[in-house]
């Protein structure tokens, strides 16, 4: 049999994702001649078995994109008459509207909690922090009426970055700032500012860092 008729995925570019080729493409469709691979075959021999094995849709899509790139290269080299793999762009996720929690509901919840827990709810509700960011707050993150969001706490382990890996500064509402000041006094600290006097730094966690992140 002539070389062009027996070429398979083994003859494709080395720059393509090796993990997907080794784990999914090669064992499932790697022994087929390129000209024998059709959309129907790909669905039967690649996509369906990957889904049955519990592989996620993003990985399946990546595998199809690698296969599409293989055929794009093969078509450019005149090894196949056309590219049978067409990966369409995923539909953009429809934005869903999330109604805010009314302040009256927040305050009803806070009224049933202890001081520390009520303050934690207030920071989440009125400053818009993620639970992991809340549990990573230190006293020196409260500066000039604002919160500096610079890290996250995942199951008690601190990471020096947030979910988006972008630090930000959140201006505190006056009532929330007053609550934090009261919490500072209740915690035995004179101030919630990073440096009130020369050589004085208020460090330590605002809340117990060993707490599980609130869901």
In this prediction the pTM is 0.53
Read off the pLDDT of residues 173-183 as tens digits, 9 standing for 90 and up: 999 999 998 88
**What is d(CA 107, CA 115) in angstroms, rounded to the nearest whole number?**
12
User: Residue 146 has what pLDDT?
Assistant: 93
User: Residue 79 has what pLDDT?
Assistant: 86
Read off the pLDDT of residues 148-174 as tens digits, 9 standing for 90 and up: 999 999 888 888 888 888 899 999 999
Task: Output the CA–CA distances (angstroms, integers) from residue 100 to 103, 124, 167, in the order listed.
Answer: 9, 12, 24
User: Residue 130 has what pLDDT?
Assistant: 93
Average pLDDT along the chain: 80
Confidence band (pLDDT; 50, 70, 90) for 213?
A: very low
Tell me the percentage of the chain whose pLDDT exceeds 90: 27
Give the list of residues 6+ apart from residue 63 with CB closer than 8 angstroms, or none: 20, 24, 25, 46, 50
Read off the pLDDT of residues 43-84 as tens digits, 9 standing for 90 and up: 999 999 988 888 888 888 888 888 888 888 888 888 888 888
User: Residue 124 has what pLDDT?
Assistant: 95
Extract the tokens encoding 164. Answer: 């988006």
For the chain, the DSSP string reads --HHHH--GGGS-TTS-HHHIIIIIHHHHTTS-GGG--HHHHIIIIIHHHHHTT--HHHHHHHHHHHHHHHHHHHHTTSSSS-----PPPPPPPP---PPPPHHHHHHHHHTS-HHHHHHHHHHHHH---HHHHTT-BGGGEETTEEEE--EEETTEEESS-TTS--EEEEPPHHHHHHHHHHHHHTT-S-SSS-SSTT----SBSS-TTSPPP-
């Amino acid at each position: 049999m002539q070389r062009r008729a027996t070429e398979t995925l083994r003859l494709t570019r080395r720059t393509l994702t090796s993990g997907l080729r080794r784990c999914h493409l090669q064992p499932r469709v790697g022994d087929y001649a390129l000209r024998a691979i059709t959309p129907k075959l790909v669905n039967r021999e690649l996509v369906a078995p990957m889904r049955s094995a519990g592989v996620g849709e993003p990985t399946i899509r990546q595998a199809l994109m690698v296969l599409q790139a293989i055929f794009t290269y093969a078509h450019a080299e005149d090894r196949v008459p056309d590219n049978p793999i067409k990966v369409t762009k995923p539909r953009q996720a429809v934005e869903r509207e999330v109604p805010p929690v009314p302040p009256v509901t927040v305050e009803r919840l806070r009224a049933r909690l202890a001081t520390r827990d009520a303050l934690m709810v207030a920071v989440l509700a009125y400053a818009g922090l993620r639970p992991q960011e809340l549990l990573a707050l230190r006293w020196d993150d409260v500066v000039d009426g604002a919160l500096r969001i610079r890290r996250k706490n995942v199951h008690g382990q601190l990471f020096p970055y947030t979910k988006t890996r972008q630090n930000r500064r959140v201006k505190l509402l006056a009532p929330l700032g007053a609550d934090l000041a009261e919490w500072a006094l209740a915690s035995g600290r004179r101030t919630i500012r990073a440096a009130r006097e020369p050589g004085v730094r208020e460090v330590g966690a605002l809340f117990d860092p060993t707490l599980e992140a609130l869901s």
